[in-house]
Amino acid sequence: MQNLVIVTMDPDFVDLGLDEIKSGSTGPVDVQDALEPGVYPLQLSTSFWNLAQKWQAHSPIFVRHIFPVQLTVNMPTLENLKQQTELVFADLVDPAFPFSVQTRIFGDWPFKPFDVNTKLATLLCESSGAELDVRRPRQIVSVVIARRPENEGIAFLGLSLTEHNLSDWAGGVRRFKREKGQISRAEFKLLEALEQFQITLPPRGVALDLGAAPGGWTRILRLKEQYVTAVDPAGLHPSLRHDPGVRHIRQSAEAHLDSAPDKYDLIVNDMRMDARDSARLMVQYRPYLYATGEAIMTLKLPAGNRPKIIDHSFKILRQGYQIQKARHLFHNRSEITLHLRPGGVQTGK
């Protein structure tokens, strides 16, 4: 069980996620059968901690969540999970740091994640003296329970610092509650990006939304008290049409460049266009981003030579930006989301 980890990634990007793990490991990686699409036990040649340290400096794009396995329990029940957790983790949980228990269960079981979380969290609070904080834990006991063809079920458990897991959500699954007035599912992508990249928008800032229609990202920016210029030849949702904080310019993003755009604190781009063309467009808009500004964009990645598309798009973007981080977020589909700041060699208008 030494150097055994559980990794999670989108099933559509498993090849790229596994490549990231293999490139970060110092030796061979033994990939075991998936517990669920996109969820794999892996035997590393290097330690989890070495890999986690590397990813602190340069986080992967496609690996969504990872944790080390320090305990496996065959044919798990609530009672034997509790017993084994007490034996292994009671002395490992640091009483100085708040913790949480995060459980994912695949297949049919007579208990739910909430039952496991409650049982183990109560035990660890009493045995370790650590504070339970499910919102902002510093350390997490991760639990994955699944069925395998050769046995009646198995549980994998591991303790790690939250920052080493790549996400503070179980399996990297970040869900948002659908709100009244929501315009599109795309809003979740922007909410997750702002959270994942830890972007704090300036009070009453000015933002440019390229390819804005029907207006999901514009709505989120307005909720964040930003004044938004929404550029799109198509119409915006009726709820935005009379908002004094929204200026709708009915042009394509390309055509708007000829109008000498204003300067902005934030530029966002979720347009459905070739990733390289979208990158070129963002570089052309770089002069209209304040030196202290930030940008968020998605790069569409249809099936094909995705690494080549990513590499080419990144080279284009570096003409005008520093790429702070790129991630395949939970709410992304065949795309990745980038956080950009001004930098590089400016080109374009």
Q: What is the pLDDT of residues 1-38, one digit of tens each?
A: 579 999 999 999 999 999 999 998 888 999 999 999 99
Poorest-confidence range of 19-33, 79-93, 112-126? Answer: 19-33
Contact 47, 54 (CB under 8 A): no
Q: Which tens digit of pLDDT belongs to each residue from 123-177? A: 999 999 999 999 999 999 999 999 987 768 999 999 999 999 999 999 999 999 9
Q: What pLDDT score does 139 carry?
A: 98
Here the tokens at position 153 are: 């079920």
pLDDT band at 349 (very low <50, low <70, confident <90, very high): very low
DSSP state of 45: S
Interaxial angle between packed helices 113-128 and 78-89, expressed in degrees from 0 to 180 and rounded to the nearest 10: 30
Q: Beta strand 99-105 with 139-146: parallel, antiparallel or unpaired?
A: parallel
pLDDT(208) > 70 = yes
The domains found in the chain, sorted by start residue, are: 4-172 (3.30.2130.30), 186-342 (3.40.50.150)
Q: What pLDDT score does 1 carry?
A: 57
| Residue 300 appears among annotated catalytic residues | yes
The residues, ordered by sequence, that sit 6+ positions from 83 with a Cβ below 8 Å of its Cβ are: none
Average pLDDT, the chain: 94
pLDDT band at 261 (very low <50, low <70, confident <90, very high): confident
pLDDT band at 302 (very low <50, low <70, confident <90, very high): very high
Q: Which of 300, 308, 315, 325 is catalytic?
A: 300
Of 272, 273, 275, 337, give the one whose Cα is nearest residue 305: 275
The model's pTM is 0.92
Contact 316, 276 (CB under 8 A): yes
Give the position of tokens 């999970």.
Answer: 81
Quick one: average pLDDT of 53-76?
94
